Structure 1
Amino acid sequence: MSNDDINARRREQVELNMLTVAAVAGWYIDTYLDKKSCRDSALSGAAYVNELLIGHLERFRQVCRMERPIFMKLCNVIRSKNLLCDTRDITLEEQLIMFLFTIGHNAVNRQVQERFQHSGETISRHFNGVLQAILSLSTQYIRDPSINVPIEIANDTRFYPFFKDCIGAIDGTHIPVFVESHKQAPYRNRHGLLSQNIMAACTFDLKFIHIQAGWEGSASDAIVLRAAEKDGFKVPRGKYYLVDAGYGNTPNYIAPYRGVRYHLREFARGSIGPQDAKELFNLRHSSLRNAIERVFGVIKNRFPILKNTSSHSFDTVTDEDINEPDDDYNTDERRREGNRMREAIANAMCDEYSIHTRRLRDRHGH
């Protein structure tokens, strides 16, 4: 090959490199610098947010899924802790409202772009900024429960004194997720849908105590609970949580009797009351543990992003590190001790119920 041919090829390569650089530069300018080229609504994001902040309280609640006074308190907390601040173009209030709009309506990035008149990159950046700020507050607002007898138990003769050492309820719920195709298999739950299995513990006044996120939809509730314990979730000495039969019955987690009527609708059907100690225990266990089902229902209704597959990647949905827990959770001795506790509660409950029923019959002359 002659020197002229070599030089010609070098010139062609230089020209190709320049074209490549120009193309990348054009993409960068279009994506990150010229970000408002198609956002030309007269109602800017700032104007829309201002309308919400001074407008009707019900409109604010419908858009943000939060009461306005609570929203303002949240803004003050975030500012006071320097978790977020106003930027040149977007106030903290607008950042937070964009975040609430997204999770409250399961809105995709393009919908938020149109509503708030910002670029996709800006929306994404501020969404993640608010998400990290909210996560950093979780340790301050999600706290261990009191070891005192919960009011909901102390003031109800169905539960006291039988459940006096119970401090909350635990259950798992499945949240639809978007996962790359080559990673999907473990996330398919028993219904064939892609999800993550989230464990939550709550008090009986519907306050979250602990949330364990990130486990694949195929993971059992018991495995997620064991992972939560490994990550620091602890049950105070002498106390326990109510769980469903999928967790197993141990001194720290009291489950209902298997193969015995449990759900409230099963007792309501035909109006046949509990027939023995096990059925009575299950009925009252179900009535009390219903708190966790109620709190799941409330939060999913308020934030529909938890009910439908989100456009956000799984890495955004959870930042938990997933580690397989040790397999020493439900030893035979723990199960036997849990069974003894449950039987003692059920028998005491049944004795009291029999006395109460007998008194009612005597009072009415039956």
Structure 2
Amino acid sequence: MNNSERIISFPHIGNYYVAIEFLIKNTLNMKSLTPPPITKKTLELGSKYSPDFVCVPFKYNLGNYIEALEKGANFLVQAGGGCRFGYYGEIQEQILRDLGYKFDFISILNTDDLNPLSVYGVFKSVNPSINFRKFVYYFELTLKMVGVIDKIEKYIRENIGFEVKDGSFEKLQKEFLKDLKKIKNFRELNAVHKKYNILFNEIKTNKPENPIRVGIVGELYTIMEPFSNYFIEKELAKKGMEVTRFITVTYLFRSHPKTKDLIKMAGKYLKYAIGADGTDSVARTKELAEAGYDGIIHVKPFGCTPEVNAMPMLQNISNDYKIPVLYFSFDSQTSETGIKTRLEAFNDMILMKREKEKCKKVI
């Protein structure tokens, strides 16, 4: 295949597809094809052709690939990972070839070192004529775009549960992403960021002085792809909660503490790294507990070993700080009704705990 015939695609993960499309368009000079929004069909397709033992992010990604290939994609990108997911690319490629699909396949970011030189080498293998200076410019611009997405979404998580008019934040977020797709340089990106900072702050909210605060920790894909966690942040917002999570692309590649620092943050609860995001989960749960949060939600794919390893320490923190921790393991058989029922019970538990503490202060 020559470059003009290549149509590149990649798996979904939150709203980061906007930044990925931007980078591909401005560096590889290839047409990009974003898979359709994730639905139950995506998961069904991925589950049908996946080994039973793999985690659910593998199945979502495989479903994304199949839907993209069916729509005309012929070049697939896999981003690897810090756990066994880093070995999944070859398996996904073989499954798709066994199904009869014709495509090129490349794995990138099988490292925590997201720097222009390493990514440029991968991109140059796809398009040998790529200009280094141009690549570095758009690579840095893409990273800044990701940072803007993360900052806006942080504000949304903290305030959407208190909007006066239902749907105000979601409507403006769609407009924000639409405008983000039009930017061409740093100046335009800064202008879009400034514009929507003002607009989001202008949305009327009725936020109490001491809102219920819930932190979310766990495995990165399940946290950042809302469909994979059954839109848990949205469900919490409906109950009038302020939501905090640390895991974002910006956090993972720009501000993530070193492992030794996370172990130090975890204190007596952790002496050694436990892999992938597990160490982070323990350290951040302790941090949230010390900050007086009302509850913690731990999310992971079923069978995710690092997060399974983290759970006993999370339970110890829960016991010591008297903070409830709700555990979710997601797979292709997870019931949406079951998720909502457990969230409802979690909310009731927090409200009862608050009422009990209020009564103690009165006495």
Normalised TM-score (structure 1): 0.28
Structure with higher Rg: it is 1
Query: Normalized per residue, which structure has more helix?
Result: 2
